[in-house]
């Protein structure tokens, strides 16, 4: 090997390099940072007359169904916001990166977008949000609205969960079973849940209310690759459960409800908001779903009977005529609206820096966009709402869901403190 | 058999047209391990003075020097996104070198590489963390934790030897697949060790009083965050790893490994201790994976179980096929290709004509990357046997006829 | 007791679906010594064709079209890719099938998008009740189909010239070639047959109790790997036994999850692999596989 020559050449080149580095565009230039334009302080994410927001989504991976609806709803929101004049005279742009539910791409996407955006209106995948949490809290201080309802994400001033977290939602769901479906002290409930953050967060909730109400939880943990719930139903039937909670995907819910119904195991089943998709109503599980299945959701469904919901449906249909209407649209719209509201407040405060937007969001205490629940963003340690709406699949309703119980908080959910 | 029936191909044909390329042309015959050093072995043999002078005038020396030095400059110019992408590629390269020793050079198909990466990544966290977040942590010095994590990955590879020593080919491949499933199960369930689904924080590396974290350190007016600092640690790890693997492949162990790949029984008959070599290569490969895991953990700053799935294992196999089986340069080339391709496509999706922006229908950048990646695996095997590294190797063979 | 019976019966019926997938691996492995990682995408292709056609042409013609389509895709993969490889390393070919799988799966999932497509099968969600035990008609159909197809294969391997050629190729490809067996044809037909089998498996994977075909359907093929291996990669009987064993193991591990909590919950996916590793420790070629012969 040419070690000596290599070493000498390397040393020489390195010396030259250190001299050159002074000319690097990365070198710190003083005096950058906040510039005042029209009296409004601006910082990262704003260049020229554009405010850029990021969206880290999943369009090709396991959460593609959710990601597509959320992203399209947010693009629609941004379009309408700009058509109405934007914020403070700035246009808003949404830069979307698809990570396909791959941690490496998600972290890379965050690293790429972070210097260019004011904040993130969407970030799918709570493990990935957790992965960059230290950077967000430490130096970036950018507002991030995750599309993940995990209580593990609470407690940061910059990562703000919108709507009730899975544990609270599950408490409300079981409360519905107790109040409306005759579940009583001493009964057993089955809980079928995904391995991972979503399912385990929900399990915390069901165990909490079970303890409060004197129920016993029979656990069945599954993986996202399990599509056939026959064995789970057999086990729950054997255990003699009176009701079932499912914290999994739409397919698993359909299979569970279908198998239980076909086997004459006639118990109510309630799922979290991610455990339903309107596409299921066209499958064989459709009739069983409409009979025995309920969904706890952080907001009214897309087909809700409010003027705002009707307008959103009409606009969304006009923009994406071939795509299904589901609750992902509501989730995406709500998050984008909350970000937009924070921007408008920050504009009124004449501070569109990241810090200014974070502060503006903290002052929003009763944000209502017409989907039944009121969001309060003043406490970073708490989710923005503890309310859940109970829905039931209905083939004739827009988006396949109708409301059976309006937004409400159970007393157990009110008293419950999520563990961060 | 998919080959032309008229020319029955023996699965063991030595020097068949498409044999995986190694860095050095393999000797024509298998050398009995009689203790004599192979004439081509370079280690310890001083280069004759004539050759040394030739090196000075040889342009490739300078190309190589620039190749080594140029990456040293990157942290001064590239932004964090590119540095991070480069670090992912470096970690992948280290891991790919490991699996190329096993699958490429020794012919043992492994689909469990992701498991050993996970052992390295989580091992480092367990050894280095101070237990402040309620998870198991031994609070060892971070450099020691990194070394121990690599060793533990090696031990894990050794523990698998009852399986890896008995099986080969497809059976070994699918048996090692079991490791990935076992690993994911443990990662999701052993909450105290792994932090469960949301993973656990990775303590920053600390060497000679320098902490590889995001606290800014200004070098020649350039702010140095974790990516800039880790860049040098990654380069060093890759260089050491590559040199060591090169040594292994060029020395007697490498010949023995190739002999086992080409014909296990013949190798045994010729006196190669087949079982011992296979076990040793499996351990070594696991240690490379462990090192890659440690580096990845440091770059990610948090380990999450979703990462260490079956896709990751398949990615590593694709890397060595695309880059070139059995060689260090092949592993590095493949790793760079596979790790950077999706990032390039995503980043420049707006500028590429056939790719549509995310959320607008059409071919999304993520899908385009999958298409190119799948096509690369197929096309390289069919039309570029020996992989990307072969192109360079061919040139070298042409210009250095008197090498042996 | 009735629960055990129900779990066992469901395990057997689930296992018969895995057996169908495993049989596809075995057919290709016997003919070409290649492990086909692209099987998952063949499965998805067959299911996709059936799912998109059944509305227009009815279920049975759509199923036939699905089988034919997947067979065609399989044959095309063999003809366009596998046959062009001039090397001799079967591990490399196995990795090539990974590349093929990525290509096909990406295109199919792009087409399927976020839909869940029902297959329009005649069984619906009907259930057979034997006392306290209930069993879905779809699962009985799967079991019958698996047994019939595997039986047909055993007979075909034994009595048809195709079967003889296949066995000869598996025994020694050189000798077979010298004896006039056209290895190219054997290989092509094996891929086509595996494609057809995958389409049948796709049917039973997407009917009740599963809601329909969607992008993640192909992941089920992962469960057939341990089935094929623990039965012995070159044994058709092994595919059946391995499939059933995997189905029963998975079913038991899930059904008795509460009694196995010391291993962590959610063992269903993992259990087949653990059983496979245990069997490989005792029988490195699987239960029915041929021991590797040392030919120098």
Low-confidence ranges of chain A (pLDDT < 50): 1-2, 22, 29-34
Kindly identify which residue of chain A lies nearest to residue B296, measuring between CA atoms: A104
Burial class (CB in 10 A: 0-12, 13-18, 19+), B2: buried
Task: Indicate whether C269 belongs to any domain.
Answer: no
Structure confidence at residue A317 (pLDDT):
92
Paired sense of beta strands A119-123 and A188-194, if any = unpaired
- Interface ipTM > 0.95: no
Q: Check: CB of residue B197 under 8 Å from CB of residue A221.
A: no
- What distances in angstroms separate CA B382 from CA B8, B222, B314, B376, C235, one per listed residue? 19, 46, 19, 10, 30
C-alpha span between B228 and C107 (Å, rounded): 38
Kindly identify which residue of chain A lies nearest to residue B357, measuring between CA atoms: A96
C-alpha span between C106 and B45 (Å, rounded): 51
B308 CB neighbour count, 10 Å cutoff: 26
- What distances in angstroms separate CA B376 from CA B90, B93, B341, C98, C239, one per listed residue? 20, 18, 11, 11, 32
* DSSP letters spanning A295-355: EEESS--TT-SSHHHHHHHHHHHHHSTTSPP-HHHHHHHHHHHHHHHHHHHHHHTTEESHH
Q: What digits encode the pLDDT tens for the residues A221-266?
A: 888 888 888 888 988 988 899 999 999 988 899 999 998 988 888 8
- pTM, two decimals, is 0.87
Mean pLDDT of chain C: 86
* Domain ranges, residue C141: 2-220
Q: Tell whether the torsion through CA atoms of A404, A406, A410 and A413 is positive or negative.
A: positive
CA angle A22, A26, A28 (to 5 degrees): 75
Residues of C with CB under 8 A from a CB of A: 3, 6-7, 10-11, 14, 109, 113-116, 118, 124-127, 129, 134, 136, 205, 207-212, 214-217, 219-220, 222, 250-251, 254-258, 265-266, 268-269
Residue count of chain A: 420
B169 to chain A nearest CA, in Å? 27
A418 to chain C nearest CA, in Å? 23
Phi, psi torsion values for A75, nearest 5 degrees = -65, -40
CA C104 to chain centre: 17
Q: How sure is the predictor about C237, in pLDDT bands with cuts at 50, 70 and 90?
A: confident
C-alpha span between B240 and B242 (Å, rounded): 5
Q: Do B84 and A14 touch (CB under 8 A)?
A: no
Domain A40-164+303-385, architecture per CATH: 3-Layer(aba) Sandwich (3.40)
Q: Check: CB of residue C39 under 8 Å from CB of residue C201.
A: no
List chain B residues with CB under 8 Å of A60. 364, 366-367, 370
List chain B residues with CB under 8 Å of C286. 171
Phi-psi region of B44 (alpha: psi -120 to 50; beta: other; left: phi over 0): left
> Which residues, including other chains, have CB under 8 Å from residue C141's CB and lie 6 or more apart?
C123, C204
C83 to chain B nearest CA, in Å? 5
Task: Indicate whether C186 belongs to any domain.
Answer: yes
C-alpha span between C89 and B17 (Å, rounded): 11
| Peptide bond connecting C209 to the previous residue in cis, omega within 30 degrees of 0 | yes
pLDDT in tens, chain B (404 residues): 333 444 344 343 333 333 444 444 444 333 333 333 444 434 444 545 555 566 666 776 777 777 777 888 788 788 888 999 999 999 999 999 999 999 988 888 999 999 999 999 999 999 999 887 788 888 899 999 999 999 999 999 999 988 888 888 888 988 999 999 999 999 988 888 888 888 888 999 888 777 787 776 777 677 777 888 899 999 999 999 999 999 999 988 888 888 888 888 888 888 888 888 889 999 999 999 999 999 999 999 889 998 999 989 999 999 999 999 888 999 999 999 999 988 888 787 766 666 665 555 567 777 888 898 899 999 998 888 888 887 766 666 555 544 43
- What distances in angstroms separate CA A43 from CA A25, A115, A140, B60, one per listed residue? 19, 10, 12, 47
Burial class (CB in 10 A: 0-12, 13-18, 19+), B40: middle
A367 DSSP 8-state letter: B
Q: Check: CB of residue C196 under 8 Å from CB of residue C149.
A: no
Phi-psi region of A42 (alpha: psi -120 to 50; beta: other; left: phi over 0): beta
> Looking at the complex, does the CB of residue B341 fall below 8 Å from at least one CB of chain A?
no
Q: Check: CB of residue C100 under 8 Å from CB of residue C92.
A: no
Domain ranges of chain B: 60-309
Structure confidence at residue B355 (pLDDT):
62
Task: Indicate whether C289 belongs to any domain.
Answer: no
Q: Do C280 and B376 touch (CB under 8 A)?
A: no
Burial class (CB in 10 A: 0-12, 13-18, 19+), C179: exposed
CA C91 to chain centre: 20
Task: Indicate whether C124 belongs to any domain.
Answer: yes
Q: Do B307 and A150 touch (CB under 8 A)?
A: no
Burial class (CB in 10 A: 0-12, 13-18, 19+), B45: exposed
> Considering the domain A166-297+402-415 in this protein, what is its CATH number?
3.40.50.2300
Kindly identify which residue of chain C lies nearest to residue B372, measuring between CA atoms: C103
C-alpha span between B9 and C90 (Å, rounded): 12
Paired sense of beta strands A388-393 and A401-408, if any = antiparallel
Closest to B271 in 3D by CA, of B31, B66, B99: B31
C-alpha span between B357 and B363 (Å, rounded): 8
Query: Does C247 have pLDDT greater than 70?
Result: yes
> Which residues, including other chains, have CB under 8 Å from residue B339's CB and lie 6 or more apart?
A104, B85, B88, B89, B92
C-alpha span between A135 and A114 (Å, rounded): 10
Strand partners, B206: B211
Q: Do A235 and C210 touch (CB under 8 A)?
A: no
> Looking at the complex, does the CB of residue C257 fall below 8 Å from at least one CB of chain B?
no
CA angle C253, C256, C261 (to 5 degrees): 85
Structure confidence at residue B34 (pLDDT):
38
C-alpha span between B322 and B391 (Å, rounded): 12
C27 to chain A nearest CA, in Å? 26
Structure confidence at residue B352 (pLDDT):
67
Q: Do C269 and A225 touch (CB under 8 A)?
A: yes
Residue count of chain C: 296
Strands (E), B330-400: none
Query: Does C138 have pLDDT greater than 60?
Result: yes
Q: Do B188 and C78 touch (CB under 8 A)?
A: no
Kindly identify which residue of chain C lies nearest to residue A192, measuring between CA atoms: C266
The domain total for chain C is 1
Domain ranges of chain A: 40-164+303-385, 166-297+402-415
Q: Check: CB of residue A221 under 8 Å from CB of residue A250.
A: no
Strand partners, C93: none
């Amino acid at each position: 090997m040419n070690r000596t020559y290599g070493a000498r050449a390397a040393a020489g080149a390195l010396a030259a390099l250190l001299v050159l580095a002074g000319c690097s565009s990365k070198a710190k230039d003083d005096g950058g940072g906040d510039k005042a334009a029209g009296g409004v302080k601006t910082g990262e994410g704003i260049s020229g007359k554009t405010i850029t927001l990021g969206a880290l989504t999943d369009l090709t991976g396991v959460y593609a169904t959710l990601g597509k609806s959320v992203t399209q709803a947010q693009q629609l929101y941004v379009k309408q916001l700009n058509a109405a004049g934007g914020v403070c005279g700035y246009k808003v742009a949404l830069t979307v990166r698809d990570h396909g539910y791959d941690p490496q791409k998600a972290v890379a996407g965050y690293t790429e977008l972070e210097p260019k955006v004011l904040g993130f209106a969407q970030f799918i995948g709570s493990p990935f949000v957790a992965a960059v949490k230290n950077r967000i809290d430490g130096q970036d201080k950018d507002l991030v609205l995750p599309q993940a309802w995990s209580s593990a994400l609470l407690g940061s001033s910059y990562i703000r969960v919108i709507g009730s977290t899975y544990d609270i939602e599950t408490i409300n769901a079981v409360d519905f079973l107790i109040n409306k479906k005759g579940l009583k002290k001493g009964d057993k409930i089955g809980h079928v849940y995904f391995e991972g953050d979503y399912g385990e967060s929900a399990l915390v909730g069901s165990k909490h209310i079970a303890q409060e109400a004197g129920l016993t939880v029979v656990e069945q943990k599954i993986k996202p690759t399990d599509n056939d719930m026959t064995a789970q139903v057999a086990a729950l039937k054997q255990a003699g459960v009176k009701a079932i909670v499912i914290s999994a995907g739409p397919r698993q819910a359909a299979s569970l409800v279908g198998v239980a119904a076909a086997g004459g195991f006639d118990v109510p089943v309630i799922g979290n908001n991610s455990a339903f998709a309107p596409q299921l109503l066209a499958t064989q599980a459709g009739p069983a779903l409409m009979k025995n299945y309920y969904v706890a959701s952080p907001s009214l469904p897309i087909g809700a009977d409010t003027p705002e919901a009707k307008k959103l449906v009409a606009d969304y249909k006009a923009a994406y005529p071939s795509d299904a209407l589901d609750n992902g649209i509501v989730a995406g719209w709500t998050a984008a609206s909350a970000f937009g509201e924070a921007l408008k407040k920050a504009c009124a405060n004449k501070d569109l820096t990241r810090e200014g937007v974070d502060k503006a969001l903290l002052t929003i205490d009763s944000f209502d966009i017409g989907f039944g629940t009121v969001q309060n963003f003043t406490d970073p340690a708490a989710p923005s709402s503890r309310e859940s709406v109970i829905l039931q699949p209905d083939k004739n309703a827009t988006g396949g869901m109708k409301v059976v119980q309006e937004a409400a908080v159970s007393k157990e959910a009110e008293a419950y403190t999520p563990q961060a | 058999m998919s080959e032309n029936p008229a020319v029955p191909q023996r699965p063991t044909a030595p020097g068949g047209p498409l044999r995986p390329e190694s860095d050095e042309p393999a000797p024509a015959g298998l050398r009995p391990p009689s203790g004599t050093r192979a004439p081509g072995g370079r280690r310890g043999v001083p280069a004759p003075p004539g050759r040394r002078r030739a090196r000075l005038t040889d342009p490739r020396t300078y190309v190589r020097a620039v190749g080594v030095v140029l990456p040293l400059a990157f942290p001064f110019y590239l932004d964090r996104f590119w540095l991070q992408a480069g670090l992912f590629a470096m970690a992948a390269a280290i891991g790919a070198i490991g699996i190329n020793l096993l699958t490429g050079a020794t012919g043992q198909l492994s689909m469990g590489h992701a498991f050993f990466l996970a052992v390295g990544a989580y091992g480092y966290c367990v050894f280095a963390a101070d237990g402040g977040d309620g998870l198991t942590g031994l609070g060892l010095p971070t450099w020691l934790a990194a070394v121990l994590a690599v060793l533990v990955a090696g031990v894990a590879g050794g523990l698998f030897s009852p399986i890896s020593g008995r099986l080969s080919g497809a059976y070994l491949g699918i048996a090692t697949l079991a490791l990935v499933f076992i690993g994911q199960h443990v990662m999701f369930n052993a909450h105290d060790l792994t932090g469960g689904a949301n993973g656990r924080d990775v303590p920053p590396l600390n060497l000679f009083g320098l902490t590889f974290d995001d606290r800014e350190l200004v070098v020649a007016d350039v702010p140095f965050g974790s990516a800039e600092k880790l860049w040098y640690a990654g380069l060093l790890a890759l260089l050491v790893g590559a040199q060591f693997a090169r040594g292994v492949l060029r020395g007697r162990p490498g010949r023995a490994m190739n002999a086992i790949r080409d014909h296990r029984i013949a190798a045994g008959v010729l006196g190669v201790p087949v079982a011992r070599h296979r076990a040793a290569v499996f351990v070594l490969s696991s240690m490379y994976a462990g090192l890659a895991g440690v580096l990845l953990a440091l770059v990610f700053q948090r380990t999450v179980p979703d990462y260490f799935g079956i896709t990751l294992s398949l990615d590593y196999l694709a890397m060595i096929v695309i880059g070139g089986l059995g060689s260090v340069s092949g592993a590095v080339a493949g790793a760079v290709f596979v790790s950077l391709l999706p990032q390039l496509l995503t980043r420049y999706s707006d500028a590429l004509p056939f790719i549509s922006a995310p959320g607008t229908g059409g071919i999304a950048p993520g899908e385009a990357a999958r298409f190119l990646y799948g096509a690369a695996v197929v096309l390289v095997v069919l039309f570029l046997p020996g992989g990307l590294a072969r192109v360079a190797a061919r040139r070298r063979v042409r210009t250095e006829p008197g090498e042996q | 007791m009735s629960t055990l019976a129900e779990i066992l019966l469901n395990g057997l019926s689930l296992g018969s679906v895995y057996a169908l997938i495993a049989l596809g691996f075995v057919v290709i492995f016997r003919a070409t010594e290649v492990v086909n990682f692209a099987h998952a995408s063949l499965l998805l292709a067959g299911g996709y064709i059936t799912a998109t056609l059944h509305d227009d042409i009815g279920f049975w013609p759509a199923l036939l079209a699905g089988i034919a389509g997947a067979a065609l895709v399989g044959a095309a993969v063999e003809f366009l890719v596998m046959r062009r490889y001039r090397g001799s390393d079967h591990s490399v070919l196995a990795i090539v099938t990974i590349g093929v799988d990525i290509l096909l799966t990406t295109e199919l999932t792009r087409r399927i998008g976020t839909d869940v497509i029902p297959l329009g099968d005649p069984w619906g969600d009907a259930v057979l009740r034997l006392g306290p035990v209930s069993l879905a008609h779809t699962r009985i159909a799967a079991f019958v189909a698996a047994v019939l197809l595997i039986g047909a294969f055993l007979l075909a391997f034994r009595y048809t010239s195709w079967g003889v050629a296949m066995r000869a190729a598996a025994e020694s490809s050189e000798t077979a070639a010298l004896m006039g067996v056209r290895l190219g044809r054997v290989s092509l037909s094996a891929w086509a047959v595996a494609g057809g089998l995958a389409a049948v498996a796709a049917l039973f994977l997407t009917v009740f109790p599963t809601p329909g075909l969607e992008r993640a359907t192909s992941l089920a093929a992962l469960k057939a790997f341990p089935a094929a291996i623990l039965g012995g990669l070159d044994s058709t009987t092994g595919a059946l036994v391995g499939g059933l064993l995997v189905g029963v193991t998975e079913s038991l591990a899930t059904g008795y999850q509460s009694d196995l909590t010391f291993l962590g919950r959610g063992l269903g996916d993992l259990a087949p692999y653990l059983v496979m590793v245990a069997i490989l420790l005792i029988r490195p070629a699987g239960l029915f596989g041929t021991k590797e012969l040392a030919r120098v």
